[in-house]
Amino acid sequence: MTQDKIRLTSICLREIELPLIEPFRTATGIVDRRRIILAELREEDGVTAWTECVAEAVPSYTSETVDGAWQALSGWIIPLVLEKTFGHPTDVHAALASWVPDHPMARASIEMGTWALAATRREESLARFLSRSSHLGVSPRKSVATGIAIGMHSDNGKLLDRIETAISEGYRRIKLKVSPQSEMQTIRDVRSAIGTTTKLSVDANGSFSIDDENHLRFLEKLDSLGLAMIEQPLGEEKFEQHAELQRALRTSICLDESISSDASAERMVRLQSGRIVNMKPGRVGGFTEAVAIHDRCRLAEIPLWCGGMLESGIGRAYNVALASLPNFTLPGDISPSSRYWVRDVITEPWQMDSDGMVTVPVERSGIGVEVDRDFVDQILVREATFRS
C-alpha cells in the first residue's frame, strides 16, 4: 500500500462561474452560470490533481451549498488533511468521515482528488485504479452509455422537440422530472413519442407520499407506462415505505437521495426498497463509499447508473471513471461538455458518439483530462491557497 501513500503539501481552492448554454429557473430566479469550487491538490514531489466539489449554489438537492462547502473545506477539511500521511485514499475517507461527519460533497472533493493523485503516481488511469480497488476484481469498461435529463416544459410541442433532438443526438435514456402536480397527459405524450427503443424514466425527487390517495393513483398511472424506472418517489428516509411501494409496482424504483452511505445501501438491500441506485459520489462522501456501494449492489443484483450534478469537465472525469465499473450497467448522466457549457474548463471537451457513448480515458494517467488554466483564470471569482 506504500505506493498509494498520500501526503498533501498544499491545496488551492478556486471558485469559478461557468457560463451555461441553457439558463434555468430556480426558486430564486434565472441562473445562467454554475458556481463551482475547484481544488488543486499538490504533493511534495510535485504531483498534482484537480478535483471539483459538486455542491450547488442553493440548498435544493441537499443541504450543502457552495458557500458552506467553501467554509467547510477551508475551515476544517483542508487543515485536517494537510501534512498528514495516509496509506491509501480510503484512509483519507475514514479520517474525514470521523472528523467531519457532515459536508459529504466537500469531503468528497478532497477524497476523490487523492484517488486521482494515487492513480497519477502509479501512471495509470483513475478508472483502472478504481476497478482494482473494487472487490470484484475486473477491468474497467472502455466506454459508458449516456442518458439525458430534460426539464418539464410548459409548452408540450417544445418538450417533444427537445426530446426528439436528444434521441437524434444518440442519448440512450430520457429522464423527466415529475411531481404530483405534473400533467399525466404530457408524460403519456412523451411515452408514445419516444417509442420503445429509447428508455424513459421519471425522477420525483421525493415529492410523493404513500399516505396521499391522489399521489398513489398518480404512481399507478406511471406504473402503466412501461418506464425504465421511477426515481426517488418518496422522501429520503422512507426506506420501509419505498419497499411497500416497490411491492405494489411493476416498475423498478431507483433510489437517489436515500443512498447517502454504504449503510443506507445495506438498508435498501435488506428491506428491498428499490431495484436500482443512482450513484453520485459527492452525495456519499467520495469514492471509498461509492465503490463499497457498487460492490454491495452488484452482489444483490441491483444495477447502478451515475447521476450528474452539473459538473464541469473536471468533475465529469471522475464520474466517467466511476461509471466504468462493471455494475454501472444503465446509462448515466454523463453528457458531453456541449450539453451544458459554452466552453468547458478542460482543453479537450468531453464528446459523445452517435450511439450515446462516452469514451473512458483508460490509457491516460489520472483523470485523463488537462485543465484549461487560462480559462479558469478568466472565470475566477475567488482563490485561496492552503499550505501546511
Q: Which stretch binds Mg ion (CB under 5 A): 34-42, 88-96, 182-190, 197-205?
A: 197-205
Quick one: which segment of 103-111, 115-123, 207-215, 256-264 binds Mg ion (CB under 5 A)? Answer: 256-264
Site string for Mg ion, 85-124 (x = CB under 5 A): ----------------------------------------
Using DSSP's 3-state secondary structure scheme, residue 85 falls into coil
Assess 56 for contact with Mg ion (CB under 5 A).
no
287 close to 260: Cβ distance less than 8 angstroms: no
CA distances (Å), origin 272, targets 222, 246, 258? 20, 8, 13
Q: How far is the CB of 231 from Mg ion (least distance, A)?
A: 5
**The residue to which cell 452525495 is assigned:** 283
Phi-psi region of 179 (alpha: psi -120 to 50; beta: other; left: phi over 0): beta
Least Cβ distance, residue 383 to Mg ion (angstroms): 32
Shortest Cβ 333–Mg ion spacing (Å): 9
CB nearer to Mg ion: pick between 89 and 147: 147
From 8-16, 144-152, 248-256, 261-269, span contacting Mg ion (CB under 5 A): 248-256
| Catalytic-residue membership of 177 | yes
Q: Which is nearer to Mg ion, 4 or 231 (CB)?
A: 231
Please enumerate in sequence order all residues whose Cβ is within 8 A of that of 253, keeping only pairs 6 or more positions apart, or say none.
229, 230, 231, 233, 242, 245, 246, 273, 274, 275, 276
Q: Which helix (H) or strand (E) holds 279?
A: strand 276-279
Residue of 269, 280, 264, 288 whose CA lies nearest to 92: 288
Catalytic residue selected from 175, 177, 199, 221: 177
Choices 104-112, 180-188, 200-208, 347-355; region in contact with Mg ion by CB under 5 A? 200-208
Select 203 or 295, whichever has its Cβ closest to Mg ion.
203
Q: Is residue 112 a contact partner of residue 57, using CB atoms and an 8 Å limit? A: no
Using the minimum distance from each CB to Mg ion, give the nearer residue, 96 or 227.
Answer: 227
Dihedral (CA of 88, 369, 143, 171) sign? positive
Q: Which is nearer to Mg ion, 25 or 196 (CB)?
A: 25
| Beta bridge mates, 332 | 146
Q: What are phi and psi of 161, to 5 degrees?
A: -60, -45
Catalytic residue among 175, 199, 238, 280: 280
Q: Which is nearer to Mg ion, 228 or 345 (CB)?
A: 228
Q: How far is the CB of 278 from Mg ion (least distance, A)?
A: 6
C-beta of 358: minimal distance to Mg ion in Å? 20
User: Which of 60, 48, 147, 90 minimizes the C-alpha distance to 367?
Assistant: 48
Decide: is 333 part of the binding site for Mg ion (CB under 5 A). no
Q: Is 256 in the site for Mg ion (CB under 5 A)?
A: yes
- Figure out which of the listed residues 203, 262, 333, 372 binds Mg ion, where binding follows CB under 5 A: 203
Count of residues binding Mg ion (CB under 5 A)?
Answer: 3
String of contacts with Mg ion for each residue 214-233, x by CB under 5 A:
-----------------x--
Q: Phi-psi category of 135—alpha, beta or left, where left has phi over 0 and alpha has psi -120 to 50? A: alpha
Distance CA 321, CA 140 (A): 8
8, 77 Cβ separation under 8 angstroms: no
Cβ closest to Mg ion, residue 231 vs residue 311: 231
Q: Which residues are catalytic?
A: 177, 280
List contacts with Mg ion (CB under 5 A): 203, 231, 256
